[in-house]
Amino acid sequence: MKRECRHRPIATLVGAATATGLLLASCTSEPRSLSIESESTSATTPTATSSTSPSDSGEPAGLVTQPEDEQASAKTDSETNSDASDASGPRRCQVVDHRVVGSLQATGLTETSGLVASETHPGVLWAHNDSGSEPGLYALTTEGGDLGFYPLPSPETNDIEDIALYDGRLYLADSGNNARRRSSMRIIVVDEPVPGEPTSLTATSVLTLRYPGEPEDVEAVLVDPVQRRLVALTKQVGEAVQTGEATRIYDADLDVVDEQILTLTGTIDLRSLAEQAPATSPARTSAVLSPGTNVATGIDISASGRTIALRTYATTWIFDRNADETITDALQSTPCEGPFRLELQGEAIALLPGDGEAIRFVTTSEGTYSPLSSSTVISGG
């Protein structure tokens, strides 16, 4: 997805007080410092939300940030994990750490839309741009360092929106469809390359997945390592956001190489989830002011299949999954909300490998040298 300020070196947020006491942010060409500093474990920095309804392009039309008194309140609540929420609603995750660890150093990585952590090569992330850039993968360190670019000369792609990893292969979702003109999405499968040995990627297979009804826009895709299913979540834009339309969940069989019709397995109401969150929740603030930010822009699953991280423009949700559940079942459970920092057009999230109850993930956004945020939480589920 693209913003008008994407070609400027660094976008700056400027605020103007509104009647509600919140700050309306916009993109300017004024440079912004990228000094990297550790943040407190709460790190409830100004929250990315849209001040108006999203445009037809699927992007939030503006951003708002919390006023200082609300930030202070959110910090205290997050540090003590004492936020109150609806009895049946989501809670805040227990935050162990949350900070900016670096910035994306690959100069060609300006429209970052997907991110996934390697399971074979410790400390390596794979990232990609969406439409408008040369198709391929960027290898990064977990602090954003540039480890090389791997072009994908064929097949021709339209709009790659997410990436997943399973069994040594990377699954690139050519699924962007803001205009709703494409009746199907494609999954391009490539073998995971070796970092430090740049070479052209070769597709081992291409899955064509047709929608059972009207065309959809999909920006969040994962591969379930337990049930070997590819799962895709829709992204609402325009009127669908304003009417509170739920996110649809589709899945497909990884072993079918011929064209297949996606199976609609359920829905998840991200707007309702946000409205039930604690008062200091980034998602709840955005649900009131800008429903368009509570849409699925990225998703990832742990190698064990037990943890799912789903992000929106406004926040991150962490879902626990039982061994006998499908992905759709797990997404019906009550998640905890992870820490969140302001990201302009944030669409990428990756769970990092790890042992024990601590869950670590990184997020980033579109733009040149975008900051890379790292969070470690305990879901408590």
In the chain, the percentage of residues whose pLDDT exceeds 70 is: 77
**How many residues does the structure list for the chain?**
381
- How many C-beta atoms surround the C-beta of residue 235 within 10 A? 28
CA 57 to chain centroid: 17
Classify residue 192 by its DSSP letter.
P
pLDDT at position 32 over 70:
no
Q: What is the per-residue pLDDT across 217-238, written as a single tens digit (0 to 9) for each? A: 999 999 999 999 999 999 987 7
Task: Return the sign of the alpha-carbon dihedral for residues 44, 46, 50, 51.
Answer: positive
Closest to 100 measured CA to CA, from 311, 347, 363: 363
The phi and psi torsions of 287 (rounded to 5 degrees) equal: -60, -35
Q: How far apart are CA 208 and CA 248, in angstroms?
A: 19
- The DSSP code sequence of 212-280 is SSS---EEEEEEETTTTEEEEEE---THHHHTTPPEEEEEEETT--S-EEPEEEEEE-HHHHHHTS-TT
pTM for this entry: 0.80
Q: What is the per-residue pLDDT across 309-341, written as a single tens digit (0 to 9) for each? A: 999 999 999 999 999 999 999 999 999 999 988
CA distances from 153 to 30, 195, 274, 344 (A): 36, 18, 41, 29
Residue labelled with tokens 């849209």: 50
Tokens of 60: 């939030």
Q: How far apart are CA 293 and CA 226, in angstroms?
A: 31
Q: How far apart are CA 11 and CA 34, in angstroms?
A: 11
Domains of the chain: 12-378 (2.120.10)
258 touches 205 (CB < 8 A): no
CA 209-214-215 angle, to 5 degrees, is 55
Most confident of the following: 55-64, 85-94, 160-169, 349-358: 160-169
Q: What is the per-residue pLDDT across 68-111, written as a single tens digit (0 to 9) for each? A: 333 333 343 334 343 444 557 899 999 999 999 999 999 999 99
Q: What is the per-residue pLDDT across 252-300, written as a single tens digit (0 to 9) for each? A: 999 898 899 999 999 999 999 999 998 888 888 887 778 778 899 999 9
Q: What is the per-residue pLDDT across 144-166, written as a single tens digit (0 to 9) for each? A: 999 999 999 988 898 999 999 99
Closest to 5 measured CA to CA, from 107, 105, 110: 110
